[in-house]
């Protein structure tokens, strides 16, 4: 019998928390029935990638190939059942093993890129059920910028926030990839969107994308400014928490929903529960989303021709430089790697 030759591929590998990301040759994934191999054309960074690189994320293993977001062309199929996908342009749903209950993820839930190898590579192995046709109006880079942030924003707005046309929406920290997509989705849905940011230029960019107005959250009276500008909010999308969260009930309209999916500014401070129950407010947590929500998000993006904002595109080999930029939080929109 002849010797089996294992074909290598190039990938960005995290070898340890105290080492930079490196481009190196690794073994090309072997497929099982139900799986496909996607040749990555572009991948995008998320904040979780940064936290993993500095060793501050649950379940880290070494070595790892990071990356939750990716778009590409299906190159191989694990069995005849998946061969219909070969040659098709796709984006990948990174929300895996959600489970049967739409209200919350199962104990087996995981996000592509850890513990399974992710999209910062020439090829990624995924189950065919997580493939979706790439929206025709998007470039490879724009398509790669969509999956994780788009799914998170869609569930936060439509499932949890139950936004409706003409609702007044507040999105905190609009410069992030998820914040920017939440703005675009809400604007496309006919909502009046207001934003906060720590940088005036990001507020101006948000206005160009359809925001009515924005304020700097570093201002002592940021909440009072927003109340004056909006008259109150029907839905708040927040990924920061921290001390500023305590002011959100004050600027909510009766019956409003406050949806949270991150905590970059710290923990929730002491809240005046009387304001919450008297105004009939809801504080709702969310993480990622279901397969049905991902499909609905793709349909919405295609119908409204939503185009994710890209801050900068790096070659795959410069992934560490891209992570360093994310660490400084200077970006507006998504940081993308071009394979």
Where do the domains of the chain lie?
Answer: 8-146+308-338, 150-285
SS (H, E, C) 40-108: EEEEECCHHHHHHHCCCCCCCCCCECCCCEEEEEEEEECCHHHHHHCCCEEEECCEECCCCCCCCCCCC
Which pLDDT score, from 0 to 100, does residue 279 have? 97
pLDDT at 4 over 70: no
Which pLDDT score, from 0 to 100, does residue 7 have? 66
- pLDDT band of residue 180 (cuts 50, 70, 90) is very high
Q: In CATH, which superfamily holds the domain spanning 8-146+308-338?
A: Medium-chain alcohol dehydrogenases, catalytic domain (3.90.180.10)
| pLDDT per position as a tens digit, 56-80 | 888 889 999 999 999 999 999 999 9
Mean pLDDT, to the nearest integer, of 100-115?
Answer: 96
Q: 25 pairs with which residues across the strands? A: 10
- pLDDT band of residue 175 (cuts 50, 70, 90) is confident
Which pLDDT score, from 0 to 100, does residue 318 have? 96
The Cα–Cα gap between 24 and 67 comes to: 16
CATH no., domain 150-285 = 3.40.50.720
pLDDT at 91 over 50: yes
pLDDT at 339 over 90: no
Mean pLDDT, to the nearest integer, of 147-166?
Answer: 97
Q: Is 176 helix (H, G, I), strand (E, B) or coil?
A: coil
Which pLDDT score, from 0 to 100, does residue 6 have? 63
Mean pLDDT, to the nearest integer, of 178-186?
Answer: 96
Which pLDDT score, from 0 to 100, does residue 57 have? 85
Q: What is the dihedral of CA 204, 308, 51, 288, to 10 degrees?
A: 120
State residue 141 phi and psi, 5-degree precision.
Answer: -70, -40
Q: Do domains 8-146+308-338 and 150-285 have the same CATH topology?
A: no
pLDDT at 332 over 50: yes
252, with CB counted inside 10 A (0-12, 13-18, 19+), is buried
Q: Is 231 helix (H, G, I), strand (E, B) or coil?
A: coil
Neighbours of 154 (CB within 10 A): 22
- pLDDT band of residue 5 (cuts 50, 70, 90) is low
| pLDDT per position as a tens digit, 215-230 | 999 999 999 999 999 9
pLDDT at 262 over 90: no
Which pLDDT score, from 0 to 100, does residue 1 have? 43
Q: Which of 79-83, 86-90, 288-292, 326-330 has the lowest mean pLDDT?
A: 326-330
Q: Which of 209, 173, 203 is nearest to 191 (CA)?
A: 209
- pLDDT band of residue 2 (cuts 50, 70, 90) is very low
- pLDDT band of residue 264 (cuts 50, 70, 90) is confident
State residue 276 phi and psi, 5-degree precision.
Answer: -70, -50
Which pLDDT score, from 0 to 100, does residue 8 have? 86
Contacts of residues 97-103 at CB distance under 8 Å and 24 or more positions apart, as own/partner, are 98/288, 98/289, 98/290, 98/291, 102/290, 102/292
Mean pLDDT, to the nearest integer, of 190-199?
Answer: 96
């Amino acid at each position: 019998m002849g010797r089996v030759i294992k074909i290598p591929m190039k990938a960005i590998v995290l070898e340890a928390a105290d080492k930079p990301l490196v481009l190196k040759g690794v073994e090309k994934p072997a497929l099982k029935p139900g799986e496909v191999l996607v040749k990555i054309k572009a991948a995008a960074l998320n904040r979780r990638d940064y936290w993993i690189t500095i060793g501050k994320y649950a379940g880290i293993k070494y070595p790892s190939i990071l990356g939750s977001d990716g778009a590409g062309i299906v190159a191989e199929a694990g069995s005849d059942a998946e061969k219909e996908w070969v040659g098709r342009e796709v984006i990948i749903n990174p929300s895996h093993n959600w489970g049967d209950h739409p209200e919350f993820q199962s104990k087996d839930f995981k996000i592509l890129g850890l513990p399974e190898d992710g999209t910062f590579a020439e090829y990624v192995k995924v189950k065919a059920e997580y493939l979706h046709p790439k929206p025709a109006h998007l470039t490879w880079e724009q398509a790669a910028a969509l999956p994780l942030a788009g799914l998170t924003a869609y569930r936060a707005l439509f499932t949890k926030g139950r936004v409706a046309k003409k609702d007044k929406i507040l999105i905190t920290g609009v410069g992030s990839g998820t914040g920017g997509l939440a703005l675009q989705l809400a604007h496309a849905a006919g909502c009046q969107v207001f934003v906060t940011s720590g940088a005036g230029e990001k507020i101006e960019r948000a206005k160009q994308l359809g925001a009515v107005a924005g304020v700097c959250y570093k201002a002592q009276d940021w909440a009072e400014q927003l109340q004056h500008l909006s008259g109150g909010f029907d839905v708040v999308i927040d990924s920061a928490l921290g001390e500023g969260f305590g002011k959100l009930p004050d600027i909510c309209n009766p019956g409003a929903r406050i949806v949270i999916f991150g905590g970059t500014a710290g923990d929730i401070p002491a809240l005046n529960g009387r304001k919450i129950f008297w105004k009939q407010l809801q504080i709702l947590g969310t993480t990622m989303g279901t397969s049905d929500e991902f499909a609905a998000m793709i349909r919405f993006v295609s119908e409204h021709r939503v185009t994710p904002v890209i801050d900068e595109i790096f070659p795959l080999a410069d992934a560490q430089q891209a992570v360093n930029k994310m660490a400084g939080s200077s970006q507006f929109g998504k940081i993308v790697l071009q394979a």
